[in-house]
Every structure is written in structure tokens, then in C-alpha cells.
Structure 1
Amino acid sequence: MASLDDLDLETLDFGTVEPNEFARIVKGLSARRIAELMSGPQRRRVLDEVFGRMRTLFKPEAAGSRDALIRWRIAEGEEGGDVYETHIAGGACTVTPERTDRTPQLSLTMAAPDFLKLVSGNASGPTLFFTRKLKVKGDIRLAGGLTYFFDIPKA
């Protein structure tokens, strides 16, 4: 079997990859390959798929009656990147693929490879935070419990 580093990520249709398979792919890729993928033409497609699936992987019972806006900045270099917002309210998670003028309760900033590792269950939010790979602004308690609101795949 070929190494995952030999997988043609540029043509892989991430829309057809199940969450557990996605987690396995991320786990098997070198940091260099993840960085290459997330700096190439597939970046936005991968991010759109991940954020799009947040709606279906959301666990309303875990969030309870919480009403929170979370702003995610997936950095690309020092200044650039993509911004998504997730709004948890009324037992649902809605996603906006851009920054809005609303005030978030929590803002999270991290590099794309770290984001992919986090959302695929291959990295821990606290570890990323304490190693300064994840920047948190706002409600730190919300940040600490955020992973419990989603059915995060396991590799």
C-alpha cells in the first residue's frame, strides 16, 4: 500500500471522504504534506468541508441552551487567512464562511495544519493552546468545552 504522503491530495474530493477516514488521512500525513495541502488550491475546499460538517457533527444535548458565536481564523502566514464563524444557539450550529460584524464570545486563531489536526481528533486544544499554536480571545471556559459540542472523528 502506498504511503499517505503519496496520496494525491490536490485531486482528492474531500466531500466524499467520511469523517473517520478524514481523521485517518490527517493522522497519516507528515506536517510538511499538511502544510502543502493547506497552502494550495484545495485549502478553501477542505475548510468549507470541515466547517460544513460541523452542522451535522454538532451535539445539541452537549451545548444545552448555550448561545455563542465563535470566530475561527485559520491563519496563512502572519496576516492572512480564512475566517469562519460558528453560531451555537437553539440546539443548532450554523456556519458563516466569513467574518461578520457580530461580536464573538470566543475567537480562535491557529495555522491550518493545527486546525486540521484539532478537528480530526489528532491534536488536543489545550496542548495547542499551551504550546502557543492556538490563540484564544474571549470566553476561555467556552474554548475548553468546545470539543464536547461536536462528534469529533477518531483515526
Structure 2
Amino acid sequence: MSDIDFTTASADELAAVEPGDFIRIVKQMSDKDVKQVMESANRQPIIEAIFSRMPELFRADRAGTTTATTHWSVTGRPDGGADEWTVRFADGSCTTLPGHDGDATLSLAMSPVDFTKVITKSGNPVMMFMTGKIKAKGDLGLAANIANFFDIPKA
């Protein structure tokens, strides 16, 4: 796939970007470029595409018997709010839904730039937590291992 301009692409075009292509494109972007995209009208469809792909990238063999509800907050929305999602692990599967649903085993909050670093594995989540870039409450052991539950394509 050729590179796509995340700022001007349609929601359908964004949804069609394969995870490996998404990661490759994002890793080529500067933090300033990522911030600009995440302040554009395409922020919502990009975040929705990321969370909706999580179940297909989930590796039950790596999660083992983990049962957990995680609440994600991607801060820095243009209106001052955050995009909130729930990601659940249970019975060898992963499900996602918009909003915070149920009691969280782990709550994570981060800026859009840090969120893209976490989901593309281009940042160290433990170091990001230690330096205050990621706010985590609850099961910190889960926070340290959650990225391993997903088969993140190499860029």
C-alpha cells in the first residue's frame, strides 16, 4: 500500500490501512506530525480503527488465563476531553468497546503521541510510566505485559 495522509484520508480509507502499514507510516512521522494528525478531524476514526483491530491482533496463547478489564483514555482531544475505550480479556479472547464500561482492573491515560508510541511498540511503556508520560492505576503487572498480548506487525 502506498503511504496515506492521515490528516486528509476518509474514515473508510483509514479503516482499510493494514496494521503493518499503519505502524510503518507512524514510525516515519515526527512527534509533531503525529500530534498534528491527532488534532485533525481524523483523530476519532484513527483511534476507532486502532481499537477495533485489537481483537484480531490478540494472541490468546500469550495472554494465558488473564481476565481483565482495561480502561484507556487518550487525552488531548481538541475539545479538551479524552477518547475513552474499554478493552477486555476473558476466556482467551479480547473485546473492545467505546467508553469506559465496568470496573477496571487497569486504567491507562496518555497523550495521543504516547498512545501511538505504545501501540506501535516504538516507545518503552515502563519507562513512559516511570517518567509520567503514561498514567496507570490498578494492576501494574498487567500494564507492563499488556503489549505482549498482541501480535504487533513489524514496520
Task: Give TM-score scaled by structure 2 length.
Answer: 0.90
Deviation at 1:96, TM superposition (A): 1.0
Helix, strand or coil at the partner of 1:76: coil
User: Gaps (5+ residues) in structure 1?
Assistant: none
Offset, 1:79: 5.5
CA deviation after TM superposition for structure 1 residue 23, in Å: 0.9
> Structure 1 residues 97 and 28 mapped into 2: Cα distance closer, same or farther (>3 Å)?
same
User: 1:13-38 CA deviation, whole Å, 9 max, x = no partner?
Assistant: 22221111111111111111100111
CA–CA distance in 1 between the matches of 2:63 and 2:80?
Answer: 32
1:16-95 alignment runs, 5 A limit? 16-76=16-76, 80-95=81-96
Which range moved further: 119-128 or 138-147?
Answer: 119-128
Secondary structure of residue in 1 paired with 2:99:
coil
**d(CA) in 2 for partners of 1:118, 1:142:** 14
User: How far has the Cα of 1:66 moved from its partner?
Assistant: 1.3
Report if aligned partners of 1:26, 1:122 keep a CA contact under 8 Å in 2.
no
> What's the % identity of the aligned pairs?
35
After the TM superposition, list the runs of 4 or more consecutive aligned residues in structure 1 that deviate by more than 6 angstroms: none
Aligned partner of 2:128 in structure 1 is 128
Normalising to structure 1: TM-score of the pair?
0.90
The number of aligned residues is 149
Q: CA deviation at 1:115?
A: 0.4
Pairing 1:132-147 to 2, within 5 Å after superposition: 132-147=132-147
Structure 2: tracts of 5 or more residues without a match: none
